[in-house]
A and B are shown apart, each in its own frame.
Chain A
Amino acid sequence: MVEVTEPANAFREDFEAFYARERSAVIGLAYVLSGSRAGAEDLAHDAFVAAYQDWDKVAGYDNPGSWVRRVLANRVTSRFRRRRSEAKALLRLSGGDLTVPAVNPETEAVWHEVRRLPRRQAQAIALRYLDDQDVAGIAAILECSENTIRTHLRRGRETLARRLADKETS
């Protein structure tokens, strides 16, 4: 008997491995950029859905993970999407709570100030420190030059240091 490969199953397995590997990091990124513990998983899920829809193309990219992060970074800026993700956070499709557990107050204070930065600086900071991306990787995700990314990181850190210090002395 001839064994027939089912393309649909192979397609899903490939994506499944990608999803399992990248999911946690993308959820963390969604949380720090949106500030929403409840909506972060749903925002991340939406970005993976976008990848799944074009998986035959995205899978062929040098770094599909960068593509998902770019989609997430673009979408998380939409307040409309953030609020709908908050709503969908009440709907559970797997056996447990999909909210990101509470972080400690110092962590929240730091990421709150990151979110107050200009958007690209915030994204660069999040990708560098949370996602451990190097300058080249961040530049690829955000579609900027490496010099621009270095500037974003430097200015972002300077502003963060100043604002956090001001808060602590006030």
Chain B
Amino acid sequence: MNTIEERLEIAAADVREKAALVPPRTSGSVARRTSLVRAIQAATTVVAVFAILAATALLSGRSDHATTDTTDNVVSGTDGMPPLLVDTARVDPNLSLVYVQDDTIPASATDNERYLRSYGPASAGLADPRLWLVTYPNGSDFFRGEGFRDPGWDTIEVPTGRASITSQGATTVVMWQVNDDTDGPVLRIQAFGIDSDTVTTAVASIADAEAGWVVQTPPDGFVELYAGPEQSAPGGRTVMLVWMDRPYYVAPEITLWLYEGQDQTVTEIGLHDAVLDPSTDASVVAQEIRGHAGARLTTPDGVFYVWMETPTVFARLLVQGATDPQQVLDSLTEIDRDSWNNTIDTWTPPPLESDTPLTTIAPTTTGTE
């Protein structure tokens, strides 16, 4: 039996061998991707040959969709997804639907050891104030590295350990290592739409209770809205649609996610994920979206719009590279459900030949159900 070191060496050699077989893109493709963020002229020959892959199965398979009958568009039940598409004719004629993903994530599925609690007004809408508390049981790189010394962060007083605070727009973040062990619990407190004095008061009341770390004195009128694993999606059916320009795939790029859940959990996890992706710096403003209270987030990845399309469906739209993200948002169109289901069920990737005309989705607006 090999030692663990030997097994790691063998496993590493296998991966190195396989990674070396991945064919190179031209470095000009790096320049083209860069132009998504800023304008840099493409340097080398564009090679636009498309090979089709089956989607890698990271998630569980699709749930069974509700079937249609002859009298209703959809039998109620699992198919509560709004039949939304981007009307590319109103945005950019070069856009095509290039990717569809339809998965159902079990509510308990998570690959993350972190725990999330959210607090807000009892009838909280998306743009309403929130206080989120995430527990990192095994420490955080924020304190293992030098992140807490970044000039953007200030030190704040806490009962034990050490903590830092930063604010940007409507959001305030506190990182708190609760004792001297960098591998011990770290708490991330993130506030949206709450003044910093109220945040620090709430932070001071955080304690390790029987149920885990909790905010004992949340802001006035706040109740606990969610408590459970931190997830990237609320569980339930998730549909992702991606539109891109062809054949250069430079800009714009539009991604629409629809997350279907059972209750308030959809809102809290979806909003938390959208606002608090640790890799983004988001400025958040409230905005009415499709007649619902929503929020617009401006991030290095592009502009996100998040809103509750129905009481159980959280929607997120990411717009990159478009000169007017609002125009993209306004182009969202509800088509007839049969056509939408057909689009999801029968979608195939773009054809191999780059000069073959693509069939773009032409929504037929027939009104809502």
Contact = CB atoms under 8 A, between A and B. Distances in A.
Given A80-B277, A87-B99, A103 B15 contact: yes
Contacts of A91: 50, 98-99, 244, 249
Interface residues of B, number: 68
Interface in A86-105: 86-104
A80 B33 contact: no
Contact of A89 (B24, B33, B56, B232): B56
Interface string B276-301: 01110000000000000000000000
Say whether chain A's binding surface is mostly helix, strand, loop, or mixed: helix
Contact of B20 (A24, A97, A125): A24
A39 interface: yes
B191 to A, nearest CB: 21
B14 to A, nearest CB: 4
A46 B146 CA distance: 24
B10 to A, nearest CB: 7
Interface in A108-135: 110-111, 115, 118-120, 125, 129-130
A94 B232 contact: no
A120 B144 contact: yes
A93 B32 CA distance: 10
Interface in A134-156: 142-144, 148, 151
Interface in B1-16: 3-5, 7-12, 14-16
Nearest to A13: B27
Nearest to B56: A38
Interface-centre pick from A32, A101, A129 (highest chain B CB count, 10 A): A129
Contact of A49 (B5, B33, B111): B33
A164 B2 CA distance: 11
A130 B16 contact: yes
B55 interface: yes
Which range holds the interface residue count of chain A? 35 or more
B113 interface: yes
B7 A89 contact: no
Contacts of A129: 5, 8-9, 11-12
9 contacts: A32-B15, A49-B30, A49-B37, A79-B273, A84-B255, A93-B25, A100-B22, A125-B8, A129-B11
Q: Top 7 closest A-B pairs, CB basis?
A: A143-B145, A79-B232, A28-B19, A110-B11, A96-B23, A161-B4, A38-B56
Interface of B: 3-5, 7-12, 14-16, 18-27, 29-34, 37-38, 43, 46-53, 55-56, 58, 98-99, 101, 111-113, 138-139, 141, 144-147, 182-183, 232, 240, 242, 244, 249, 255, 273, 277-279, 349
Given A12-B27, A97-B53, 7 more contacts: A82-B58, A83-B240, A86-B101, A87-B240, A91-B99, A93-B25, A118-B113
